[in-house]
């Protein structure tokens, strides 16, 4: 495949309670590496792409471990910086039944968050890139991070690198520094080719709300407005999730195009979810893979949804499944033990 996919964002250490325990119910934590954009990078590397991560980690044993974990899964980490400071952490107690999962963020003042936008030389970082993948988490981390994200998107546009962006709107992060989410996202969306978002993300960017008789109608209305507002935007994709309980969901997906196309991927019943974190990132990576690989929109959407479905069965942030497994699900190859 031609051209690297560069993902920019923060790496986080995830510290999880074992099994279905509450945080520190017993004195052990399992450690995994995550981060919305890193999750996409790992998925793409495992699907056979040249995937590279850009960003900043702490120059200590934790930062080194985070980089090692990306490398282990085939992601190129040579575009990463290490700087004094701390790693962002999050503590997770996975839920069950009617008890929601609980995430406790401890990511403020991380080496990533404190990196000035000027520390990134985007022309060098995008050398050889075909795509740049961003998400709404990075600009929410502070003015410098927002600027860096925008710099990245603009440099990509300038160099002919295509841009994908995953909404991932986190109100609390924006509020923490009084960031103008609308204004910033609007500028980023203006450089975006492929948007993973629903009507709520677009509402933030455009400052208007979208409604409809159902979720799909609202998304469609928002997409129409987005295509109008952002001339580079070609496609918008999102999942649709119904939660019967914390560990039993139904998941389907939708993809809309500037040309008016609308694809729906039939849904999966997810009863007995193992790990819900990172499933949106798995979806984005799956759709991106499909499009890079030359699938048509419908197929790319189904591939993305199948990837997201399988992620629910894997512990951790990363979607540790392979292309053949995703294809097998798309092809409904059944649930027999693979020997």
228 to 257, contacts with a copy of itself by CB under 8 A? Answer: 243, 245-248
Q: Which residue matches tokens 């819900």?
A: 276
Instruction: Give the span between the Cα atoms of 294 and 300, in whole angstroms.
Output: 8
Q: Considering beta carbons, is residue 3 or 74 the nearer one to a copy of itself?
A: 74
Q: Which of 166, 198, 201, 281 is catalytic?
A: 281
Instruction: Give the span between the Cα atoms of 92 and 55, in whole angstroms.
Output: 23
Question: What are the CA-CA distances from residue 330 to residues 3, 265, 302 (Å)?
Answer: 26, 10, 7
Told to check if 128 binds a copy of itself by CB under 8 A, we report no
Closest contact distance (angstroms) between CB of 137 and a copy of itself is 11
- Residue of 143, 215, 320, 323 that binds a copy of itself (CB under 8 A): 320
Instruction: Give the span between the Cα atoms of 253 and 241, in whole angstroms.
Output: 8
Contact 180, 146 (CB under 8 A): no
Told to check if 119 binds a copy of itself by CB under 8 A, we report no
Known catalytic membership, residue 281: yes
Q: Considering beta carbons, is residue 22 or 158 the nearer one to a copy of itself?
A: 22
Told to check if 28 binds a copy of itself by CB under 8 A, we report yes
- Residue of 72, 158, 159, 262 that binds a copy of itself (CB under 8 A): 72
Told to check if 95 binds a copy of itself by CB under 8 A, we report yes
250 burial (CB, 10 Å; 0-12 / 13-18 / 19+) is: middle
Told to check if 121 binds a copy of itself by CB under 8 A, we report no
Told to check if 266 binds a copy of itself by CB under 8 A, we report no
- Residue of 1, 3, 71, 323 that binds a copy of itself (CB under 8 A): 71
Name the residue among 77, 42, 45, 53 with its Cα closest to residue 134.
Answer: 53
83 burial (CB, 10 Å; 0-12 / 13-18 / 19+) is: middle
Told to check if 313 binds a copy of itself by CB under 8 A, we report yes
Q: Considering beta carbons, is residue 155 or 197 the nearer one to a copy of itself?
A: 197
Q: Are strands 262-271 and 4-8 parallel, antiparallel or unpaired?
A: unpaired
Q: Considering beta carbons, is residue 32 or 192 the nearer one to a copy of itself?
A: 32
Closest contact distance (angstroms) between CB of 136 and a copy of itself is 14
With vertex at residue 154, the alpha carbon angle to CA 149 and CA 159, rounded to the nearest 5 degrees, is 125
Name the residue among 324, 327, 338 with its Cα closest to residue 305.
Answer: 327
Closest contact distance (angstroms) between CB of 210 and a copy of itself is 20
Told to check if 15 binds a copy of itself by CB under 8 A, we report yes
Q: Considering beta carbons, is residue 211 or 333 the nearer one to a copy of itself?
A: 333
Told to check if 26 binds a copy of itself by CB under 8 A, we report yes
Counting residues that bind a copy of itself (by CB under 8 A) gives 79
Told to check if 23 binds a copy of itself by CB under 8 A, we report yes
3-state DSSP assignment of residue 221: helix
Question: What are the CA-CA distances from residue 39 to residues 176, 276, 285 (Å)?
Answer: 25, 13, 8
- Residue of 4, 7, 57, 73 that binds a copy of itself (CB under 8 A): 73
Q: Which residue matches tokens 């893979």?
A: 289
Q: Which residue matches tokens 């914390």?
A: 246
Told to check if 267 binds a copy of itself by CB under 8 A, we report no
Interface residues for a copy of itself in 162-191 (CB under 8 A)? 170, 172
Told to check if 84 binds a copy of itself by CB under 8 A, we report no
Catalytic residues: 281
């Amino acid at each position: 495949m031609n051209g690297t996919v560069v993902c920019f964002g923060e790496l986080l250490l995830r510290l999880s309670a074992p099994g279905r325990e509450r945080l520190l119910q017993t004195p052990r934590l399992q450690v995994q590496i995550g981060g919305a954009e890193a999750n996409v990078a790992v998925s793409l590397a495992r699907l056979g792409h040249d995937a590279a991560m850009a960003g900043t980690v702490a120059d200590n044993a934790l930062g080194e471990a985070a980089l090692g974990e990306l490398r282990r899964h085939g992601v190129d980490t040579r575009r990463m910086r290490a700087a004094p400071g701390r790693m962002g952490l999050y503590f997770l107690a996975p839920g069950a039944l009617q008890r929601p999962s609980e995430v406790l963020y401890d990511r403020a003042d991380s080496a990533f968050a404190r990196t000035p936008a000027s520390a990134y030389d985007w022309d060098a970082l995008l050398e050889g890139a075909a795509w740049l993948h961003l998400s709404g988490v990075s600009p929410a981390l502070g003015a410098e991070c927002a600027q860096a994200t925008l710099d990245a998107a603009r440099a990509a546009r300038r160099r002919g690198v295509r841009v994908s962006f995953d909404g991932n709107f986190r109100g609390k992060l924006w509020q923490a520094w009084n960031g103008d989410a609308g204004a910033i996202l609007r500028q980023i969306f203006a450089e975006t080719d492929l948007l993973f978002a629903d009507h709520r993300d677009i509402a933030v960017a455009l400052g208007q709300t979208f409604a409809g008789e159902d979720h799909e109608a609202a998304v469609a209305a928002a997409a129409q407005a987005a295509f109008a507002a952002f001339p580079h935007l070609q496609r918008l994709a999102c999942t649709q999730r119904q939660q019967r309980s914390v560990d039993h969901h139904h998941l389907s997906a939708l993809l809309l195009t500037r040309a008016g196309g609308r694809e729906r991927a039939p849904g999966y019943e997810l009863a007995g979810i193992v790990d819900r974190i990172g499933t949106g990132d798995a979806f984005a990576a799956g759709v991106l893979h499909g499009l890079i690989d030359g699938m048509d929109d419908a197929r790319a959407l189904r591939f993305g949804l199948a990837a997201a479905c399988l992620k629910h069965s894997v512990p951790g942030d990363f979607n540790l499944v392979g292309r053949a497994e995703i294809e097998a699900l798309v092809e409904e190859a059944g649930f027999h033990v693979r020997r």
